[in-house]
Structures are given as structure tokens and as C-alpha cells.
Structure 1
């Protein structure tokens, strides 16, 4: 028997905790649309994100290692899929709206530049006198304005709760009533799960890629509490295990440990703080109490691991070289198109008068993949500063 959207919503809501975002309370869309007969709003949001051009381009954007070093390393798309999986796991375990958590996770990096954080930092510097640049706000700009897939509205016209979930704490979202709501209400617990899932995903998979690349050493990792704890658990169960299967089993145990500790801590605080509604969540958020975090002792171990990765992997000389090259390419492209605006696509040129030359150039450059940025740089005679 086919179920209509109201039956599906009712079934989904029956699984949700009292403090979750209900399927029929996902917030209105900026541009009114007729409801689909058997697809609920967040299903449509998730699919709109996945079908977007910006989402597809993530496969050719850097996570840590640029696409040219090999095909077995994470890119921005595979990272996003891992974040979505962890978000969905956490939300389901906590009785939250897993569709919302997953959709926020799938959309969270849509605005990322070529060449990872190096590209973002350079665009931020270049745009400091023209309204600034931050990849999270660029993600919102994409889903609310830049994507052109529908005849009746710009962007993806996502639900209000999805949009608010993409907004980071502390950000200023001028002119946005949803931004004001986000500031007053605080983030949904689904949004908080997506946020911490991002950190868990990159902490785990960057170790995997760093080891595969040879930039991290097992003997160095063995000095870290979180790694050694996970290693011992795997060895207790599989004493004869070795090689890559051992390493990947330890990374899987590490990921599971972080997710499980986060879930336990959230659940403990829900009971400790007597949270029974979203209003309760918002009250504690405004009081400066963070619910989505680790147990204090465990957090110290996570900090130790993250500090190690920053020193050893993210600041590895070879990573720094490719990052610096990425920064140089972004800078060269920005100034080139700023001087020769007629050479960028017409869809961007049409907005010069309303949004300004620099913002349109920024949109164009930020949307490039690593490969396309490299090709464009070569076409304008780019020479690395290292040359």
C-alpha cells in the first residue's frame, strides 16, 4: 500500500524525541511551493543538495591532498559523504531527525574553494575590503542564490531548518530573518550533530590518508592516548592482525570511539539538564552550555590527537608546498579576472552592477575545482612563486 506524505510524516515523527525537529516543522521555504504527494520536505532538500552542481564539483576539490597525488585519498566529496554518514548515525541513535542532520552535512561544504583551506584563506584575504569570504557563508549563498536549476526561484529553496542548520555559531547573517532566528534560538541538536560529525570524520580519515601517503608514522601515533587505546582494543579482539587491515581496524575503532563518546555525553546532558523540548535546548545554548561535546577526559585525548595532526600532517612540508601553490593560483586568478572581467562567464557579468565586480569574481573562482583552477591558471601564464 502506497503511503502519502502525511502518513510518511506521521510515521517519521513517531520515532523522534521531544526535542527533535519534527518532519512537519521544518520551516517554510522562501519561495512557496506545492508539497509533493509522497516526498516529505527534507527528502526534497537532501536530493536538491545532491543534484546541485556545487555538490558534484566537490569530487575535484581538495581535502588535504590535491587530486593529482592519487585517486585513493579523500576529496571534499568523499569527506562530505563520511560526515553525512556519521551525522545520520548520531541523529538516529539520539532520536533526532536524521534526514535533517544528513542534509545539513551534505550541504556544509558546498561553498568550499579549490585547494582546501589554503584557497579559502586566500579568498578571505582578497575579499577583506569587499564584504569578506567564508566558505560556510558561501555554502548558504549557493543554496539560496547561486544555483540555477529551477524555473520558479534562484538557489535550491531549502526549508528554513536546513538553512538555519547550515549557519555556524558566531556568524553574522545580515539581512536574513533566518539568521536572526538562528541567533535567538541557537542551533538544533541535528545541526550540532552535523557540526561535530565534520570534526570526527576529518580527524579519522586524515590519519588514514596521512599514513597511506607516508607523512604519518605508526610509531608516532602510538604515543597518543586515543590511538593507543584503539590499538589495544583491536589487538585484544584480533591478536594476530597486522598490516593495512590492522591500521584500518584501529581507525574504525577510533571513529567509533569518538562517535560513541559524543552520543553518551549528549544523552547524559539531556538527562542531567532535564531537556524535554527544543526550548530547553535553546535555553542552555544561550547560557553558554554546549551539549554536543565529549566527556572532559576524552576531550583532552581528542585535543592531543588534533594537535598532533596539525603539527605533523597539516604543516608537513609537502602539504605546505601544495597549499602555497594553491594560494598563489587563487590570487593570480582573482587579480586576472578582476582586470579582465569580460573573460568570465556571462552569468557572473550580469551581476556586476548589483553585487560588485569583486563579489562576482570571487563567486567564479570559489566555484572552480582544483583541476579547472589549474587549467585556468596555466591559460593565463601563471608561474609559481617557487619557480
Structure 2
């Protein structure tokens, strides 16, 4: 691993007992923003059932997959795990519905909300655990991976991110995080969808090729077993199929270009950590199925509408009444601007806390 990825914004003593990325992992899991993931929506709100995934449990599943893939490829497992643990730390309450609402609110002020960039603000600015500086003082390798694991940014649009090699591909450990994320939620969302009663196993088998293929295998191995147990076995097999394809196709791509260094990975014109064309087609099919049958179904659409109402109402309230912000956030207005500060405050909330704030403000307005 190239040692420049170990550099930090502020000097920090080396520890013989832990690698730099292991120390980053510990700083991440001890952060308040990481703990708050337990109270943030993945697909279903925790109010619906304690059995559904939260952002935190999803993050743990991504970390497991990331370690498996990185170990199989001989990559740095500590870097991959730390990036998996931090990859969703910038998400606001109410999942993607909350993110869309915040982005719409900020657009009115000429700004945008991007959960990757917000995650970087969290680890560099908002977390305050050290006497000498703000932020978690994470390594360059982690900070680069936070912003580049799922998309590319350009120097022209984001000159403030120039230190993160925007004209180059990220390390493989960062590239694989987005795919580990896909594997985790493609498996989990089918599971939670059936658990919720919004999806039916038979319908999934008819419309999701990769799951149907896995189901046929486990059904043959376990004849006469109840559908729900076969479904769980098929989900596990599907996760393994996707994971192994990512491993093998990434290995093939690296060998095909003769890459023997991080510099060669960075210089390549495309990302190398990708699914094979066949599995990519199946991934896209399942993703479309989930969008059509689950993410946009009436029950969840009602939740999304409520989430957007809550986020928008609170944003508008604090824009018009900035003195009602907590003092620490109010003090940031001069340097960060009111709209960004309000968005920062809302983005840090859990689902339960934002609903309490919404109820309190509705009472205050009635008075």
C-alpha cells in the first residue's frame, strides 16, 4: 500500500499495535455520526418493525462483503472495511426521500446536497473528539474513498477537492465499496420486502432472474422445505454469486491490463472493480424490479411524502427563524451560510429526533 495514503491533515503518533487504517476504523465506529446510523432509515423506518435493516445494520453487511472481496483479491482489508463503515455516514434521516427533500430545499439557495460530500464534512469538521483539532483526522486513503467510492468528481466542478486526485481512478478498495453496497441492499431489500408483506416470493422468482436461478438450485438440494426457508437459502446463494462474480471479474480486469501497482490502477481509463456483463445485466434487472415494485409502492410512497413534508417544513422554519437553531449551528452561519447550516443540522438527525423537532415546531407555530 502506497504510504502517502496514510497521511493525515494533522500530525498523529504511529501505533505499533494498529495500522493507520485500523485506527481510522476505530475512529469511525466511535463517532457520533456512526452511532446515529442506527436511527436512520434504510428502506423501511424502524417504527415499522425492529426486524428491518437500518442504515447501521446495512453498513455492517456492506463491511462484511467488502472484507471478503478485498481479502480474496489480496487488497488492504482494513482500508476496505473502514471505507464500508463510513460510506453511508453522510445520509440524512428518512433515507433517499430525506436526501431528495434536502437537495430540493438547497437548490432554492443555489446549493446542492450530496451525501458523499456531506460525509467528508462530518469527518473533517463536525465530529469533535480531539483537543488539538476538529474532525476525526482520518488518513488520505479514507477521505479520498469517502468522496470517490460511488462516483467521479471533476476538478472543474469541485476545485475544493483537488487534493483527492480527481483526474485519477480511486484504489480498488474504494472502487469495490459501491459494488459491495449494491450486493448488500439487493439481497436485503428482497428480504425486507417479503418480511413486510409488500413482495411475494413467487412474484420475485418470476421477475428476478438471478434469484430464480439460485432458488432453483436450493429447491433441488432441499426438496419439500417450506418456501420461506428456501427463499432465505436462495438469498444467501445470490449474495455469494454476486460477490464471487465481483471478485473474479475484478481479478480478470486487473490481469488484463497488467496492473501491478496503485499507479496503474489510477491511470486506467475506467474502474476495474465491476461485475461481469452477464451479472451486471441481472443486477440492473433486479434493481429495476425493486424500484417498480417496492421503492415506489403506495405504502412506501406515503412514507416518502411524509418524510419530504417534515424535512421541507423544518428547513423553511429555520431559514425564517435562524435564532431558533442550536447555538453551535447558529455560530456557523457567518462562515458557512444559513442554508448550508440548516441542511447540516437536519442531515445529522435520526428519524425519531426529526419527528420530535417537527412536532415541537408545529406546536410552537400554533401558539
The TM-score range, normalised by the shorter chain, is over 0.9
The answer to whether residue 154 in structure 2 is matched with residue 159 in structure 1 is no
Q: TM-score, normalised by structure 2?
A: 0.94
Q: Output the aligned Cα RMSD.
A: 1.5
* Residues 186-224 of structure 1 deviation map (CA, whole Å, 9 limit, x = unaligned): 111000111110111111100000000011111211122
Counterparts of 1:149 and 1:377 in 2: how far apart (Å)?
A: 29
Match of 1:135 in 2: 115
Match of 1:208 in 2: 191
One of 201, 220, 243 as aligned partner of 1:236:
220
Moved more, 205-214 or 237-246: 237-246
* Residues 146-187 of structure 1 deviation map (CA, whole Å, 9 limit, x = unaligned): 1111111111110001100111333354323423x2x13311
Q: Is the 8 A contact 1:163 1:178 kept in 2?
A: no
How many residue pairs get matched? 357
Counterparts of 1:235 and 1:290 in 2: how far apart (Å)?
A: 36
Match of 2:160 in 1: 175
One of 182, 200, 208 as aligned partner of 1:217:
200
Match of 1:324 in 2: 305
Match of 1:97 in 2: 76
Counterparts of 2:300 and 2:129 in 1: how far apart (Å)?
A: 36
Match of 1:359 in 2: 340
Counterparts of 2:4 and 2:263 in 1: how far apart (Å)?
A: 14
The structure 1 segments of at least 4 consecutive aligned residues displaced by more than 4 Å after TM superposition are: none
One of 267, 271, 276 as aligned partner of 2:255:
271
One of 279, 284, 292 as aligned partner of 2:273:
292
Q: TM-score, normalised by structure 1?
A: 0.89
Moved more, 216-225 or 24-33: 24-33
Q: Is the 8 A contact 1:26 1:41 kept in 2?
A: no
Counterparts of 1:156 and 1:242 in 2: how far apart (Å)?
A: 49
The answer to whether residue 35 in structure 2 is matched with residue 56 in structure 1 is yes
The answer to whether residue 260 in structure 2 is matched with residue 280 in structure 1 is no
Q: Is the 8 A contact 2:90 2:119 kept in 1?
A: yes
Counterparts of 1:38 and 1:25 in 2: how far apart (Å)?
A: 20
- 1:130 Cα deviation after fit: 4.2
- 1:106 Cα deviation after fit: 0.6
Counterparts of 2:226 and 2:174 in 1: how far apart (Å)?
A: 38
Counterparts of 1:355 and 1:367 in 2: how far apart (Å)?
A: 16
Match of 1:147 in 2: 127
- 1:283 Cα deviation after fit: 2.2
Match of 1:251 in 2: 235
Counterparts of 1:341 and 1:178 in 2: how far apart (Å)?
A: 34
